[in-house]
């Protein structure tokens, strides 16, 4: 399968031009090869994932997270400094896309996603009837058994919930201003948690975004073998 046809499908779903200015999306490494027979999907193209892909004779890696630095020692490039494998990333453009990372998280949890009024990373789910904090926590544990949360105001139930997969604690105030009772994200910091006036669930960066890989697989479609990298959260449980 032609690699440009593959990335075209992803780009139509998550246009690269919608990515944040600081982001590194598209081809991170590109070989002269155009025909692809085997792809490895991953959340993060670490040294270990690249080794897995090369060991499994993959022609290409498609990742959510970009690779900000190419380290020659990781086996990505040969001694002649030419890439050994194609790596393509769809990061913040996939976060913003309809049906992207946050929408996928909400869907997996069994809720219906509603975009924010302004086009940004936050999505909302509004329940028909309020749900207890305990019941909502149990639903989140389906994707994040070791989650943590703060409830500084002693809130008993939730009805409108803000979501941002990955690292989205900067949007807590925005979610509160939009009437959310709680916010679900990853990478919650101590002082942010201490100051929050709404319930905030930290379900983990990895746990909230790894769910996007089957979406990549569906976008790629038939005509090429797709395998998933063996990866996990770096935090010990």
- Report domain extents, the chain: 3-94+211-228, 101-205
Using pLDDT thresholds of 50, 70 and 90, give the confidence band for residue 228.
very high
CA distance 201 to 188: 8
10 Å CB burial of residue 157 (0-12, 13-18, 19+) is middle
Q: Kindly give the residue spans of alpha helices, DSSP state H, lying in the chain.
A: 3-13, 47-55, 92-96, 101-109, 133-140, 172-177, 190-195, 205-209, 213-220
Q: Read off the pLDDT of residues 185-219 as tens digits, 9 standing for 90 and up.
A: 999 999 999 999 999 999 999 999 999 999 999 99
Task: Tell which wins on pLDDT, 156 or 76.
Answer: 156
Q: Read off the pLDDT of residues 42-60 as tens digits, 9 standing for 90 and up.
A: 999 999 999 999 999 999 9
CA distance 201 to 184: 5
Using pLDDT thresholds of 50, 70 and 90, give the confidence band for residue 68.
low
Query: What is the pLDDT, as a whole number, of residue 79?
Result: 56
Chain-wide mean pLDDT for the chain?
A: 93
Using pLDDT thresholds of 50, 70 and 90, give the confidence band for residue 78.
low
Query: What is the pLDDT, as a whole number, of residue 118?
Result: 75
pLDDT above 50: residue 34: yes
Q: Read off the pLDDT of residues 124-163 as tens digits, 9 standing for 90 and up.
A: 999 999 999 999 999 999 999 999 999 999 999 999 999 9
Using pLDDT thresholds of 50, 70 and 90, give the confidence band for residue 72.
very low
CATH superfamily of 101-205: NIF3 (NGG1p interacting factor 3)-like (3.40.1390.30)
Three-state secondary-structure class, residue 53: helix
As a whole number, mean pLDDT of residues 6-27 equals 96
Three-state secondary-structure class, residue 80: coil
pLDDT above 90: residue 236: no
CATH superfamily of 3-94+211-228: NIF3 (NGG1p interacting factor 3)-like (3.40.1390.30)
For the four alpha carbons of 161, 195, 65 and 21, in that order, the dihedral sign comes to positive
Using pLDDT thresholds of 50, 70 and 90, give the confidence band for residue 117.
low
């Amino acid at each position: 399968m032609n690699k440009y046809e593959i990335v075209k499908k992803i780009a139509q779903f998550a246009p690269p031009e919608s990515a944040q200015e600081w982001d590194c999306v598209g081809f991170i490494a590109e070989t002269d090869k155009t025909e692809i027979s085997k792809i490895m999907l991953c959340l993060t193209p670490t040294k270990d994932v690249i080794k897995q892909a090369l060991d499994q004779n993959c022609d290409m890696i498609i990742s959510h997270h970009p690779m900000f630095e190419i380290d020659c020692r990781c086996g990505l490039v040969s001694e002649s400094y030419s890439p050994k494998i194609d790596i393509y990333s769809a990061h913040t453009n996939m976060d913003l896309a309809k049906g992207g990372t946050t929408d996928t998280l909400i869907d997996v949890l069994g809720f219906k996603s509603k975009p924010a009024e302004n086009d940004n990373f936050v999505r909302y789910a509004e329940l028909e009837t309020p749900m207890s904090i305990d019941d909502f926590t149990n639903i989140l544990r389906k994707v994040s058994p070791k989650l943590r949360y703060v409830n500084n105001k002693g809130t008993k139930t939730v009805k409108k919930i803000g979501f941002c997969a990955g690292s989205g604690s900067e949007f807590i105030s925005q979610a509160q201003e939009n009437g959310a009772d709680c916010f679900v994200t990853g990478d919650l910091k101590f002082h942010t948690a201490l100051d929050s006036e709404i319930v905030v669930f930290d379900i983990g960066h990895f746990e909230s975004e790894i769910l996007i890989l089957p979406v990549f697989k569906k976008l790629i479609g038939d005509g090429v073998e797709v395998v998933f990298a063996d990866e996990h959260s770096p935090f010990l449980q």
